[in-house]
Structures are given as structure tokens and as C-alpha cells.
Amino acid sequence: LFIGNDVTVLKTKDALKTQQVLEIINKEDGMIEARRILEALGLQPSEQDCCRVQQICRAVVSRAAALCAAGLAAILSYMCQTQELEMMLVNVAVEGDLYRGYSRFKEILQSVTGMLSPECMATFLPVVDGSGRGAAIVAAMALRLVAKRQEVDEMLAPLRLSRTDLQRVQTLMRQEMEQGLKNNANTSLRMLPTYVRNTPDGTERGEFLALDLGGTNFRVLVVRVAEDIRITSEIYVIPPDIMQGTGEALFDHIIDCIRDFQMKHDLKDQVLLLGFTFSFPCQQLGLNKAVLLSWTKGFNASGCVGRDVVQLLQEAAQRQKFGLKVVAVINDTVGTMMSCAYDDPKCEIGLIVGTGTNACYMEEMRNVRSVEGEQGLMCINMEWGAFGDNGCLDNIFTEFDLKVDKTTINVGRQRFEKLISGMYLGEIVRHILLAMVDKQLLFCGKPCPQLQTRDIFKTEFLSTIEIDGLALKQVQRILQNLELQPSFEDSALVREVCKTVSLRAAQLCGAGMAAVVEKMRDNRGLDHMAVTVGADGTLYKRHPHFSQRLQETVEDLAPKCTVRFLQSEDGSGKGAALVAAVASRSAEPEEQP
């Protein structure tokens, strides 16, 4: 190249301009243009020199286009992967002298991008005055997004609780607990004695039957307690018509399930001692005597409130000439505590966060006014789902919570539960989404008749949507299954709503638990206390962040307590059997008239 020429000029930076390179390769008379440019640099190029310079220019610019395409293909593939799409259609806005100045640049960009990311169909759109028009459009969009963000924040602000808010809930819970233990009629917490005085000590032995009724599913178990515990169980469904029917039909159905279980597991004609986990508010008059105070969690069987549930069960057994000996009736929280206490002696608290929510703990007998005696401990069933029923939590109830409350069968009751439990969180989210649609913040403000359907947005959706590592496509799938057509921004906003609602639930639960552990610490006059909470429930176990947020809230609000949360395995059934095992040491169940 340039044989016999002085090429010193080519050693000077920027001697050859990019625009000149484009003219050499882009014009039909590119060879003539090459000669003109080279001669202007003081060179005397031959025909071969001009041809080779043109080849070099094409190679350099083509490489630039191919490398640009490789980078773009990486971006497109990443977008397709994160949105979990098999095929993606996308428009790419392009501006720049190099792109416009070389006709082959676009062809190379298109072909190489298509080769490296075949799952993405990219259409390249040239932009005119992108800097000026684009800046104006971005400014306009930014103003619109800022206004939208402000509206979203204003709508979600009442659900975002400050540390001061949580401390106030903690204080109110403590006050309600103390008033409940004193039998104050104005408190929202019943603080019911369970007549469970001791947790397992490891010496329990035998074979026991256990029943677990506390939601739409009913379980029957046989629990064999020896050096270890072996459990065999069956799950039976309680149809809605039985949940809402007569008490006789409900308890007859339970006996039918027990009979079926015993037939399946070679227990026919055996009368085992039975522990009954009955997870509804009861006034316990003895270990095997509990009067139902009210139904919750969708149950409303007639003829049961005010009756001893053990007697109702035994009457159903007598109607069917079925042998039954109930030695203990407990709440699911007590069962969870007893189950975990078998593995960890420090477990003195039970917590359920599932269809409903409740807690129990070991209280000093001297503080339990409704039962005689000053010595030792008594497990107290708090029935904390009713916390706030007297109006003490009205300031944290939002318009969405009130809408959910109005559609329930127990309006104005179980108000704390309606902020926390799995039966209601999906409905809270649904009402927030509807409000956002009305304000043109979601789904472009288009009517969403599907969202008008009660319970269509399941609480389990919150758990799925908040799993780390899952792209927003998972949110889109859920919404599409509801016959909605969400944009990327819609999906992100729905996820934010779900996170806000579930975070509030975990924090409120944590504030309540902080009140419990601090009371136990004060009862015992300790500077610091270590205690274990046996925890169970579908929301606690299945939501990816609930347990962590709960733990963090308790640590923040009760710094003088080291609280370990132990997830219960089969707590309600195993716990009921363990209460029966402890009770079987005595000839007669402990009873308080």
C-alpha cells in the first residue's frame, strides 16, 4: 500500500475523518472519493491503493456494526429471559451519524442481532432529532410518572406503618392483655385459660387419637408417643354447606371422618384417648370442657355457640353408637406450642398465622383472675384475632380494610385477624387494585370486571408474587389467568401492593408478639429473656418473607428478649396428642367447674 509514497501524514491522529470513511464506502463512486481524499492528504495513490483503502474502511465499519449488534443481542436476550418469553417483539430506536451514514450498517445490525438472539424480533426505527424531541418527551413522561408515583404513595401510605405506629400497637396489645386477665368486659382480648399447666417433659408414652378442626380441612391422626413420635393422618374436607349448616350435621360429619380413619388404619373398635384441637374462641371450663363463644374463619354452624364442643362431639358419637373418650380440648395455638415444646423446652408461646391468626403463652397463675390458685403457670389462649374489636385499632384501619370487613359474616369482629391472616390479605389487595384502576393508575384505567369478584385474588398469589428471583412475568401470568392484560409497569405495581399488604401483616403480628414476650419478661423480673415461639400456619410457612419480617419486627420492638421462632411440624395434631398424653397421667382429666 502506497509504495513509494511518504505516509507520514497517516501517522497524524484524526487525519482521516469518520465522515470521509463513510464517503469512501457508501458512494457509488467510492473509488473516486478515495482518490480525492488520499490526494488531499498529499498521497499519490494507485488504483490498487484506492481499492484496498475502500476494503479496509468497509471492514472497520462492518466490524463496528457487528460488535454493536452483539451488545444489542445481549440486551434483547436478557429482556426476553427476565420476562420469561419464548418470543419477543421489540422496537429499537436508533440515532447517530454512523448508523445513518452507511446503508450497510443497518443491514449488519439487523442480521447479526437476529443470528445471536433469534428469540427476539427486533425492528429498528431511525430517530430524527432524538436529543431534542426525546428530552421533551422524557420530561413529559417524568412529570406524568412523578404524579402517578405520588398518587400511588398517597394510596398506600395508610398501610405503611412507622415504628411509632408499631410501638403503639404493642402498647395497646399489652394493655388489652392485662385487662383481659382481669376479666375486664371492655377489653377486646378474652385471655382464656386453657387448663394446660405444663409442657411435655419427655416421659409421655402411649397411643393417642387427635382431631384438628380449624379451617376448611379437618384432620384425624393417630399419634404414637415413645422414644420418638410417629404420626399417621388423613385430611378430610368440610363442605361449605356443612360449615354453614347445623351443628349436628357438622359434628356428625366429624364422627364419619373418624370412623373412616379408624377403618383405614386398623383401629376399628379401639377407644383411644383423644385430644381435640378446636381452633375457635372458647371459654375453657376444664381440660376437656370448652364452651364455644363464636365461630370464625367462615364457619357458622347453628346450635353450637354457647355449647360445650366436647359434649357436641360426644352426642354425635352416641347418635352413631361410636365409642369416644375425649380427655383434652385445645386451641391450635396451644397444640403448636406443645408440639414445639416437645423438641425445645424453652417453647412457651404458640403462634398461628394461616386462615386465621391467634397466639397463646404461659402466664403466671397469680395474674389469672378467672382461675383459683397463685402457684405455677397457666397457658392462656389470647384469641388475639379479636384485638381491636373495641375500637382501639380504628386509626390503622384503612378504607380497604373496612370494605373487606363489610363483606364478612362477622362484621366488626376479629378485626386484628382481618389485617393479618390468609383469609383476608388477598381481598385487601383486590380492593386496592380496584381503587387504582378507578384512579387510572393501573391497567390504563380500563374496567376490570374480573376484579369485582370476591376472593378472586387469592392470598396464595401474594406468596407466589413475592418469591425472590422470579421475574415479573410470574405476576403477569397470575393476572392473565384472571383475564387481565397487564403491562410491565402494571405487574410491578401489583407486586408493590402485595408487598405492602403482606409487610403490614407481618409487622402487626410482630408488634403483638413483642407485647407478649415483654410481658413474660416483666412477669419473671428478668433483665433479659430467651424464649421460643412455636409457629404454624400456611401464611407463616409459605410466604417467602413473612417469617423474616416478623422476626425483624420482634427484635426491633423487644430488644431485651431473644426470641427464636420454631416452625411446627404437624403441630395441631401432635400437640393435641401430647396434651392428651400429659393428661393421661391422671385418672381423671383436670377440671374446673
From the list 117, 188, 279, 463, the catalytic residue is 279
From the list 219, 413, 415, 504, the catalytic residue is 219
In the residue annotation, 332 being an active-site residue is answered as: yes
How are beta strands 282-286 and 289-292 bridged, if at all? antiparallel
Residue labelled with grid coordinates 410482630: 510
From the list 332, 389, 405, 536, the catalytic residue is 332
Measured distance CA(5)–CA(44) in Å, rounded: 7
- Per the CB < 8 A criterion, the answer to whether 388 and 176 are in contact is no
- From first to last of its 593 residues, the chain has per-residue pLDDT tens of 898 888 888 999 999 998 889 888 876 788 888 999 999 989 999 999 999 999 999 999 999 999 999 999 999 999 888 877 788 888 888 888 888 878 788 889 999 999 999 998 888 888 777 666 766 677 776 777 788 889 999 999 999 999 999 999 999 999 999 999 999 989 999 999 999 988 887 778 888 999 989 877 889 999 888 878 888 999 999 999 999 999 999 999 999 999 999 999 988 878 888 999 888 888 889 999 999 999 888 899 999 999 999 999 999 999 988 988 999 999 889 989 999 998 899 999 999 999 899 999 999 999 998 888 888 999 999 999 999 999 999 999 999 999 999 999 889 999 999 999 999 999 999 999 999 999 999 998 888 888 999 999 999 999 988 887 666 777 888 888 888 888 888 999 999 999 999 999 999 999 999 999 999 999 999 999 999 999 999 999 999 999 999 999 999 999 999 999 999 977 778 888 888 888 876 544 444 43
Measured distance CA(289)–CA(224) in Å, rounded: 24
CATH number belonging to the domain at 176-393+507-583, selected among 3.30.420.40, 3.40.50.1820, 3.30.9.10, 3.20.20.70: 3.30.420.40
Give, as one character, the DSSP assignment of residue 444: G
Residue labelled with grid coordinates 371492655: 186
Please report the beta strands in 72-155, taking only residues with DSSP state E, as ranges in sequence order.
88-94, 120-126
The confidence score (pLDDT) of residue 501 equals 98
- Per the CB < 8 A criterion, the answer to whether 72 and 64 are in contact is no
pTM of the model: 0.74
Find the helix or strand (DSSP H, E) in which 584 lies.
Answer: none
Letter for the amino acid at 171?
T
Which phi and psi angles does 469 have, rounded to 5°?
90, -15
Beta carbons within 8 Å of 316's beta carbon, 6+ residues apart = 248, 251, 252, 254, 255
Find the helix or strand (DSSP H, E) in which 233 lies.
Answer: strand 229-237
Q: How many CA atoms lie within 13 A of 234 on its CB side?
A: 15
Q: Where are the domains of the chain?
A: 8-132, 176-393+507-583
In the residue annotation, 438 being an active-site residue is answered as: no
15, 33, 101, 293 from 20: Cα distances, Å: 10, 9, 10, 91
Measured distance CA(506)–CA(539) in Å, rounded: 10
The confidence score (pLDDT) of residue 404 equals 97
Beta carbons within 8 Å of 286's beta carbon, 6+ residues apart = 195, 589, 590, 591, 592, 593
Measured distance CA(34)–CA(562) in Å, rounded: 81
- Per the CB < 8 A criterion, the answer to whether 278 and 358 are in contact is no
Q: Which residues pair with 90 in a beta bridge?
A: 122
Q: Which residues pair with 561 in a beta bridge?
A: 529
Radius of gyration of the chain (CA): 35
Cell of 304: 353450637
- Per the CB < 8 A criterion, the answer to whether 420 and 509 are in contact is yes
- Per the CB < 8 A criterion, the answer to whether 41 and 15 are in contact is yes
Beta carbons within 8 Å of 37's beta carbon, 6+ residues apart = 16, 20, 23, 24
Beta carbons within 8 Å of 98's beta carbon, 6+ residues apart = 18, 22, 61, 64, 105
| Topology at the third CATH level for domain 8-132 | Hexokinase; domain 1 (3.40.367)
In the residue annotation, 572 being an active-site residue is answered as: no
